[in-house]
Structure 1
Amino acid sequence: MSLFTKSTGCGFPLIQAPMAGVSTIKLASAVTNAGGIGSIPLGAIDYTSSKGIDQTKSLLSEFDSLTEGSRLVNLNFFAHEPQVEPNPTQLENWRKLYAKYNPDVQAPLANSNISIKEIEQNHPEQFGKLWCEIEAFGPKIVSFHFGYPSLKSIDQLKKSGILVFVTATNIEEATEVSDFADGIVLQGYEAGGHRGTWLSTEAKLDEGLSTMVLVQQARKILGSKTLLIASGGIIDKSAVKFFLVDLGADAVQCGTAFILTHECETSPSSQWLWNSITLKESLGTVMTDLILGKRARAVKTEFLSDLIHRHDIANTLPDYGYRYKLYKDFLGANASLKSEYGFFLAGQNYKLLTERLSAKERLESLMRLE
């Protein structure tokens, strides 16, 4: 039994990545029931009011009912710095970028992704209530992307027997959290979705380490100090075996591998990607912050390519959260064109997926290491 399975009680050292907007409770529960660790993304929930906590209770209750009380689950939060409301110039730049598509954005300006760090700093009462709920539920893992909250809050989770994982995209980040994190999710550059960089978010300073190089360097520098979880580009059993057996990672985290499972079939992204692959029109991917305000790897559609080619990098745009909300409002005003204007998050290897399986079948295919 590996250190990871000893620490978690998990049947197999694989975590399903928390993919906001794609992951479902059915997916998380199916992965857990099949012997892995399912994940529930909570980063998009607004915890400034009690509604956010009620929403979380509902999600946890549903997971509970589908897993017969299992706590082998990872609850994931975004922990970026608080975002600044955009100024008129930033809003005008955003409108110019989308002018070609005649955006009819009438909804009130708002931050659609409020960080757990901001809740902790500016809404301490709500934060306290949320942490009490998390402790009472007792998940095996609570993980953080884009950074982490205060060490006091992390220590509170650990005293309750909850493992704390933090995402790192470079050795500096991994080293900083190694003294307190039970596990480090090493996110390689090929990973789909939000790039979790937090020490320096400037793209030009990002070394862009692959998952392989990041795991190798972290193991050499950190040794067995903490659990190392490889994440990014892990799409089949050969990749799982490579990271667990050859490189000595303690576990792997897979997101894109599960994006076409039946439990995700209601996701617009899942349907679009499947149609793209089956029609043999699948495109490459690109890392960009244009849509969301934070860098993310997505399929390089005609719409996204056009935005990238036309964007003047000297023009500042609204911060993450606000920019994300503007895009969602734009998409809502063009509901009939969601496929054309969609932003489809996926890892570099998404085109290797050739069939739709259940989450259990996908997990079992990844587990065959012989």
Structure 2
Amino acid sequence: MKREPLVIGDLTAEIPLVQGGMGVGISLSGLAGAVAKEGGIGVISTAQIGFRDPEFDEAPIETNLRCIGEEINKAREIAPGGIIGCNIMVATKRYEDYVRAAVKAGADIIISGAGLPSKLPELVRGFRTKIAPIVSSVKAAAVICKLWDRHYQTAPDMVVIEGPKAGGHLGFREEELSHIGDLDYDGEIRKIAEEVRQCGMKYGKKIPVVVAGGVYDRKDVEHCMDDLGADGVQVGTRFVTTRECDAPAAYKQAYIAAKKEDIVITKSPVGMPGRAILNKFLQEVKEKRKPASRCRQCLEKCNPKEMPYCITDALLNAARGKIQDALLFCGANAFRAERIETVREVIADLM
């Protein structure tokens, strides 16, 4: 069954699929460009995006801001005319500068979570860049819609609903995630979609709703789009084990080797629960603190002296293939990976 395109204002993705933004260094220009080339929306994570640059250690933020444009340009070389977006966490130190850098570099859409992107409309004013908050509850959706309406007389261009099976940082309490099967999340998705619909009606536009978290195969896509009425899906974990993914080979193999019982919930220094693959690193940080090697200015609210470990150190190790000393973020279905595929094969299977 051919799916309808995903229409976001004057942007049209022929395939209603958004590739999840995964940092550090997991979804950069290689993966985003490949997805955009196939007709989906390719997304670059700006989290410590300049980590490979020789100037990164001395000037991390300035290097990151410069590398945003460089990665967007590389993705456009892979997919001329494709849709390229950026995932920017609200928790990022100097968040506003990251958004401005992405907008000036020509990002088609900014997808923003890990906090409420309350000022996002102001930061893109005067540009064609679309804006999409990530929400996990009807309360969060209502708050952001009302805030943007009251302060900026605008509404989201798209809304991403991220469920409890997603990878990385999660917008749920730890006790909720330990009883995932008991959560009536389909009901929450329907409530969020209705809230978004009402918001769009006020502005005379349809705001597409994209469902994320645990989308791994065609059956998941059919459930989200046919049963729940979503306009599209966001997929992250499934793209990690593709040839085009920017992650190192050892990272991809960790997914392939993982068993269901290896996928665990861990408390991140960010203050949110996260989902990751159990390894030596996670076992060690349960028992003792791992001091930061140096501060690379990643999070707005961070006191390096109090953190159990440095999340940048842990994610940089993952991006560099030091798997046993790394935080290996993943979605709930990461254990289902069996082989390395191409982006085209994954999209064909999903759609």
TM-score, normalised on structure 2?
A: 0.74
User: Aligned pair in 2 of structure 1 residues 304, 350: CA closer, same or farther (>3 Å)?
Assistant: same
User: Aligned pair in 2 of structure 1 residues 288, 6: CA closer, same or farther (>3 Å)?
Assistant: closer
2: CA distance, partners of 1:336 / 1:167: 28
Partner of 1:262: helix, strand, or coil?
Answer: coil
1:59-98 CA distance string (max 9 Å, x none): 1221121112x35012111112xxxxxxxxxxxxxxxxxx
Structure 1, gaps ≥5 residues long: 81-112, 121-126, 313-317
Partner of 1:356: helix, strand, or coil?
Answer: coil
The amino acid of 1:304's aligned partner reads L
1: CA distance, partners of 2:111 / 2:85: 7
Identify the match of residue 77 of structure 1 among 88, 108, 111.
88
1:99-156 CA distance string (max 9 Å, x none): xxxxxxxxxxxxxx5250xxx4xxxxxx3xx6554344432211111124453x5145
Whether 1:11 aligns to 2:14 is yes
User: Aligned pair in 2 of structure 1 residues 346, 273: CA closer, same or farther (>3 Å)?
Assistant: same
The amino acid of 2:13's aligned partner reads C
2: CA distance, partners of 1:266 / 1:343: 14
Whether 1:223 aligns to 2:197 is yes
1: CA distance, partners of 2:159 / 2:185: 13
Partner of 1:263: helix, strand, or coil?
Answer: coil
Whether 1:66 aligns to 2:78 is yes
On the 8 A contact 1:29/1:66 being kept in 2, the answer is yes
Q: Which residue of 1 aligns with 2:131?
A: 164
Considering only aligned residues, what root-mean-square deviation do their CA atoms show, in Å? 3.6
2: CA distance, partners of 1:242 / 1:293: 31
Q: Which residue of 2 aligns with 1:28?
A: 32
How many residue pairs align between the two structures?
Answer: 308
Q: Which residue of 1 aligns with 2:265?
A: 287
On the 8 A contact 1:211/1:230 being kept in 2, the answer is no
The amino acid of 2:84's aligned partner reads V
User: Aligned pair in 2 of structure 1 residues 216, 300: CA closer, same or farther (>3 Å)?
Assistant: farther
User: Aligned pair in 2 of structure 1 residues 351, 195: CA closer, same or farther (>3 Å)?
Assistant: same
1:293-345 CA distance string (max 9 Å, x none): 5321112336525644x589xxxxx9658448735557989x99933333221
Greater share of helix residues, 1 or 2?
1
Between structure 1 and structure 2, the one with the greater Rg is: 1
Q: How much has 1:359 moved relative to structure 2?
A: 1.1
Q: 5 Å matches for 1:198-217?
A: 203=174, 209=183, 212-217=186-191
Partner of 2:34: helix, strand, or coil?
Answer: helix
Greater Cα offset, 59-68 or 154-163: 154-163
Q: 5 Å matches for 1:1-370?
A: 2=4, 4-5=6-7, 7=9, 8-21=11-24, 22-45=26-49, 50-68=62-80, 70=81, 72-80=83-91, 114-116=93-95, 120=96, 127=97, 133-151=101-119, 153-157=120-124, 159-179=126-146, 180-196=155-171, 203=174, 209=183, 212-223=186-197, 225=200, 226-264=207-245, 266-274=248-256, 276-277=257-258, 281=259, 283-290=261-268, 293-301=271-279, 303-305=281-283, 307-308=285-286, 310=287, 322=304, 323=307, 326=310, 329=313, 338-367=322-351
Partner of 1:234: helix, strand, or coil?
Answer: coil
On the 8 A contact 1:215/1:228 being kept in 2, the answer is no
Q: Which residue of 2 aligns with 1:103?
A: none
2: CA distance, partners of 1:272 / 1:41: 21
On the 8 A contact 1:163/1:182 being kept in 2, the answer is yes
1: CA distance, partners of 2:321 / 2:197: 50
On the 8 A contact 1:10/1:37 being kept in 2, the answer is yes
1: CA distance, partners of 2:101 / 2:46: 13
1:132-188 CA distance string (max 9 Å, x none): 54344432211111124453x514525422211111111111111234322221111
The amino acid of 1:138's aligned partner reads G
Q: Which residue of 2 aligns with 1:104?
A: none
The amino acid of 2:215's aligned partner reads I
Partner of 2:233: helix, strand, or coil?
Answer: strand
1:281-302 CA distance string (max 9 Å, x none): 5534222224665321112336
Q: How much has 1:362 moved relative to structure 2?
A: 0.8
TM-score, normalised on structure 1?
A: 0.71
The amino acid of 2:111's aligned partner reads S
2: CA distance, partners of 1:140 / 1:289: 33
Q: Which residue of 2 aligns with 1:88?
A: none
On the 8 A contact 2:131/2:157 being kept in 1, the answer is yes
1: CA distance, partners of 2:321 / 2:101: 39
User: Aligned pair in 2 of structure 1 residues 321, 61: CA closer, same or farther (>3 Å)?
Assistant: farther
